[in-house]
């Protein structure tokens, strides 16, 4: 059963892992939480500090998000981007919606150390690449990352 959410999304879907994380039923390494959003570490990070931002309401696709909610996600991504640049000394932070893994809108925010951190096989000369899931990060390391990002996030105020 699904119920309508005030933002026009759906209420908790019991088979959706991100709805369960949003509700606090499944623990996560949380970086930020407010009325609408939750941001937490990807446990299979591309790089340490790889964060996922989700709306608490269930939407399948980013293009279905109300503009205000989409803006709130981007805005939090901007703050996280500044925090990651300060924490990791990187020049760029990637922000992207892909949705190939869990069908609950989530933005990936990834500190980019190499151009290939976010790429397509189209851009790679060598053919016949095979892909795997990134290794599971250990929880002690994830807890340290939460502390590091929170420290820098507190110095990354809202954009005006």
Position among 50, 104, 108, 152 found at the interface with Zn ion (CB under 5 A): 104
Query: Could you tell me which of 14, 40, 3, 12 has the C-alpha nearest to residue 153?
Result: 40
Position among 18, 31, 45, 79 found at the interface with Zn ion (CB under 5 A): 18
Evaluate the CA torsion angle 140, 144, 147, 150 in order and state its sign: negative
Nearer of residues 19 and 110 to Zn ion, judged by Cβ: 19
Is 106 one of the binding residues for Zn ion (CB under 5 A)? no
3-state secondary structure of 150: helix
Q: Which stretch binds Zn ion (CB under 5 A): 10-18, 31-39, 125-133, 148-156?
A: 10-18
Query: Could you tell me which of 105, 111, 96, 107 has the C-alpha nearest to residue 50?
Result: 111
Instruction: List the catalytic residue out of 106, 113, 152, 155.
Output: 106
Give least dist CB 57 to Zn ion, A: 8
Residues touching Zn ion: how many (CB under 5 A)?
A: 6
Give least dist CB 97 to Zn ion, A: 14
Check: CB of residue 57 under 8 Å from CB of residue 70: no
Position among 29, 47, 56, 58 found at the interface with Zn ion (CB under 5 A): 58
Give least dist CB 36 to Zn ion, A: 14
Instruction: Please give the angle made by the CA atoms of 37, 42 and 47, to the nearest 5 degrees.
Output: 125
Distances in whole angstroms, Cα of residue 98 to Cα of each of 34, 94, 101, 118, 153: 23, 12, 8, 11, 24
**106 belongs to the catalytic site:** yes
Give least dist CB 79 to Zn ion, A: 23
Would you name the residues annotated as active-site residues? 106
Which residues bind to Zn ion, rule: CB under 5 A? Answer: 13, 16, 18-19, 58, 104
């Amino acid at each position: 059963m699904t119920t309508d959410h005030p933002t026009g999304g759906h209420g908790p879907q019991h088979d959706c892992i991100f709805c369960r994380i949003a509700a606090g039923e499944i623990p996560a390494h949380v970086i930020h939480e407010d009325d609408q959003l939750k941001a937490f570490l990807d446990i299979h990070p591309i790089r340490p500090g790889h964060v996922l931002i989700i709306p608490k309401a269930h939407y399948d696709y980013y293009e279905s998000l109300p503009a205000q909610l989409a803006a709130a996600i981007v805005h939090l991504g901007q703050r996280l981007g500044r925090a990651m640049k300060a924490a990791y000394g990187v020049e760029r932070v990637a922000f992207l919606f892909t949705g190939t893994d869990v069908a609950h809108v989530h933005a990936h925010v990834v500190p980019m150390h190499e151009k290939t951190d976010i790429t397509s096989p189209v851009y790679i000369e060598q053919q016949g690449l095979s892909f795997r899931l990134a290794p599971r990060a250990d929880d002690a390391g994830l807890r340290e990352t939460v502390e590091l990002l929170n420290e820098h996030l507190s110095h990354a105020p809202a954009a005006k």
